[in-house]
A and B are shown apart, each in its own frame.
Chain A
Amino acid sequence: MTMTWRCALIQRWLPGYLDAEAGGLRNRLVARHLERCPACRQELAELEATVRLLRAHPVPDPGPEFWAAFQRELHLQLVQLQEEPRRQPERRHLPVPRRLILAVAPLAVLLLVAVGVWREFRPRGPAPLPAPPVAVTAPLPAESDSSVELAAHGGGAAHPPGPEKVLYAGIDEGLWDEDLVLNWDMDPVLGDLSPQEREALARKLMGGEP
């Protein structure tokens, strides 16, 4: 009896051949091979004997007394188990499945870490300077010679001479913080100068000689 590669293949299928669930085509192939192969027939016979032996020796039933005692004991334990949950507060189940929470939690942690890292190491350019306020000059009833000339250079040449109040766009709406507003009022500066110094400064600002 020589065993061929076909025998090896067929012998792998033999246990399945014994039960009714095996496919029809495969069973036909096995049956055809068994007709002419004594080695595989021998193998099949041994497998059948194994199955027969196992079925001939089922686990023996221990008897009604065993089952009665078992059920009594189990009943006591079941009653005890049934009473236990009443003593303990019932576990609350989350409305979201636990698996979903477990899946999302690491992603959320990663996202938080990424945001933290980005905030820490994001590229920082020079801090943006506040935009210079647009100064608008408006005439005031009070008079001041020095401020007239300055105002004329500030774009208010058409205005009549007189003391001016510096107005800032948006300051009334509260868009500017008072501390941020640059102080363009020259009066305190000019007040400290002598008449000659004022004249010299005026000439300088007008492009004249110092």
Chain B
Amino acid sequence: MKPGECHLVSDVELVTRAQEGDLPAFEELVQRYQRDIYALACRMVSDAEEARDVMQQAWLQAFLHIRDFRGHSAFRTWLFRITLNQCYNFLKGRKRYGEPVDVGDLVLEAEDSPEAELMAEEERARLYQALERLPAKQRAVITLKLEQNLSYQEIAQVLGGTAGAARVNYCQAIKRLKKLLVSEHDHDVAVRPYPKVAPRISRR
């Protein structure tokens, strides 16, 4: 659900009810924004299963702290902030324990023809590899800007700092992603300086 979409009950009303302990109201908010949260988590952690866990943790945190939400920003923006914090925690843990990343789990859609499918898969893999090599904050800013369509002001509310800093961060991120995509395209997979990510069977 995007902010521009029409709802019978507004976010503000649902949040107020949720703050008073109304669980169905909170679950209505979950239904509205679960796809956005999941998409952000997937981009950040590059693993469908881990993204699900991160999303679940984010919703639980949101439920626990919903009384602290003062309405200074949109509820969706506040959720993104919580989700990113969960993602950062996960990434920190992964860095510490060296857990493998599975971008293969994210490739779920089938194309029309085998050739098109192959090309699309190649492109997707290239994109995911490049995204994976971006610093987490740049990955976040690109996702928030291009996929969640947040303004620089809203990105600043999520990531901290000013709208100007968010714009500069986005410009740097997109240029870096472009460079990484070009380098992915130019070089053979076997000579990449990082270990090749092998698709693995989903744990689900």
Contact = CB atoms under 8 A, between A and B. Distances in A.
B56 A61 contact: no
A69 to B, nearest CB: 10
Interface residues of B: mostly helix, strand, loop or mixed? helix
Contacts of B123: 53, 56-57
Interface in A49-65: 49-51, 53-62
Contact of A78 (B23, B38, B145): B23
A144 interface: no
B181 to A, nearest CB: 6
- Which of A16, A57, A67 neighbours the largest number of chain B CB atoms within 10 Å of its CB? A57
Interface residues of A, number: 36
Contacts of B145: 19
A71 B27 contact: yes
B27 A78 contact: yes
A50 B21 contact: no
B76 interface: no
A21 interface: yes
A183 B43 CA distance: 97
Contacts of A82: 21, 23
Interface string B31-57: 100110011001100001000100110
B106 A50 contact: no
Nearest to B59: A74
B178 A71 contact: no
B170 interface: yes
B39 A74 contact: no
A51 B175 CA distance: 10
B178 A62 contact: no
Contact of B124 (A13, A57, A78): A57
Given A62-B108, A73-B56, A50 B124 contact: no
B178 A47 contact: yes
Nearest to B126: A53
A49 B145 CA distance: 16
Contacts of B167: 16, 21
Nearest to A82: B23
Interface string A118-132: 000000000000000
A143 interface: no
B56 A46 contact: no
B64 interface: yes
A55 B59 CA distance: 26
A191 to B, nearest CB: 89
Contact of B42 (A11, A14, A49, A59): A59
A78 B127 contact: no
B106 to A, nearest CB: 7
B151 interface: yes
B91 interface: no
A47 B175 contact: yes
B117 to A, nearest CB: 13
A21 B174 contact: no
Nearest to A46: B178
Interface string A65-91: 011001101110111011000000000
Given A59-B106, A70-B52, A78-B26, 6 more contacts: A15-B174, A46-B182, A54-B146, A57-B123, A60-B106, A71-B30
Interface of A: 11-16, 18-19, 21, 46-47, 49-51, 53-62, 66-67, 70-71, 73-75, 77-79, 81-82
15 contacts: A12-B171, A13-B171, A15-B170, A15-B175, A21-B152, A46-B182, A50-B178, A58-B39, A60-B106, A70-B52, A71-B30, A71-B34, A74-B59, A78-B59, A81-B64
